Structure 1
Amino acid sequence: MIARAAAFLLLLYGLGFALFSVTLAAPAEADAPKTQAIVVITGGPGRIERGIELMAKGKAKRMLIAGADPSVTKDDLVRRIGGKRKLFRCCVDLGSESVDTRSNAEEARRWLTKHGYTSLRLVTSDWHMRRAEYEFRHALDKKIVIVPDAVRTEPGLMTLFAEYNKYLLRRLSVGLDI
């Protein structure tokens, strides 16, 4: 009986991983609603660039780059990305208080409250979006509108496996109130 239960759980785990791997988040549709803010979570290629592209298109008023290294400046990012100095000066904030996805959501909550924003476009990698969106929905007021906007990547098997396990463990810890 225990072996059957273990086999069943292992089967569920494997099917869950397969489903997780083939249903990665996608970029938001072109007609997705405009939001007051964009929150970009650092840690992967193309994320900041995607946020700047959305700001340049007028998809939001202001952008937070959550989890930025404290030594990074706006001028560093302008040099790295190229151009857009005016956009960075007026409308981009660097958040360096967070170190993981959970604290990114907490940092974003404080920033959104400070500015009085009630909607945000969340930008992160496709493989990271499910957990990031879960953390943000858990940390933010339920009235805040979140529009997920994933950056397409080509994640490896180990990246997907690690992220799936992090997602499951976080859901379990929230469910058990740990």
Structure 2
Amino acid sequence: MIRRLFAALLVLWAIGFLWFATTLPRPAGRTQTDAIIVPTGAAGRIERGLNVLERGDARTMLITGVDREVRPGEFAAEFDVPAPVMDCCVTLGFAAVDTRSNAAETAQWVRQNKVGSFRLVTTDWHMRRAAGELERTLPPQVVVVEDAVVSEPSLRILFVEYHKLLASTLARSLPG
């Protein structure tokens, strides 16, 4: 009985991992939203968010999880963001240190700025967990458009992120 249960769980885990690794989220098309949310982390996220902002598909952007030592001028210089765009449209969020606190920082910013819809820009392998954490913290009427940055993750990254997703999903399903 215990062996069968263990074998069944192992098969479910393997099928889940295979699904996770082979069906990574994709980039969104030209969708208009109020804002863009970019959690810091893997390469390409901030650049993608800035490109969407520059195209005019959103009016403002929050970059959540920025290191406390980064200054707006340094950020603008590193990513070649004109001062007027930094002043009007880019908010650097310094409160978050992980995906869960990215969601909390985002939810607070969304409420303060009366955002009804936003584009979540993060790496393909990170999208499911980031979106899941946001689902837990955002009001249900806020529309989230998932816009994945395509990457070529290693097997190690996929393995670790799959387990983080499982843990996050389990934590969200527990009462309290």
TM norm. shorter chain > 0.5: yes
TM range (shorter): over 0.9
Q: Residue in 2 aligned with 1:29? A: 29
- 1:176, distance to aligned residue in structure 2 (A): 1.8
Distance 1:93 1:154 in 2: 29
Distance 1:49 1:74 in 2: 16
Residue pair 1:66, 1:108 contacting (<8 A) in 2 also: yes
TM-score, length-normalised on structure 1?
0.95
Aligned sequence identity (%): 44
Aligned length: 176
Distance 2:162 2:93 in 1: 26
Q: CA RMSD in A?
A: 1.1
Distance 1:176 1:12 in 2: 20
* 1:127-166 correspondence runs (5 A): 127-166=125-164
* 1:21-170 correspondence runs (5 A): 21-30=21-30, 32=31, 34-170=32-168
Structure 2 unaligned blocks of 5 or more: none
Distance 1:133 1:168 in 2: 13
Task: State the Cα deviation string for residues 106-128 of structure 1 (Å, max 9, x = none).
Answer: 10111111111111110100000
Distance 2:14 2:122 in 1: 25
Residue pair 1:38, 1:63 contacting (<8 A) in 2 also: yes
Q: Residue in 2 aligned with 1:11? A: 11
Q: Which runs of 4+ in 1 moved over 3 A?
A: none
**SS of equivalent to 1:128:** helix
Shifted more, 77-86 versus 64-73: the winner is: 77-86
Distance 1:14 1:162 in 2: 14
Distance 2:96 2:169 in 1: 20
TM-score, length-normalised on structure 2?
0.96
Distance 1:134 1:174 in 2: 8
Distance 2:103 2:116 in 1: 14
Structure 1 unaligned blocks of 5 or more: none
- 1:83, distance to aligned residue in structure 2 (A): 4.3
Distance 1:108 1:141 in 2: 12
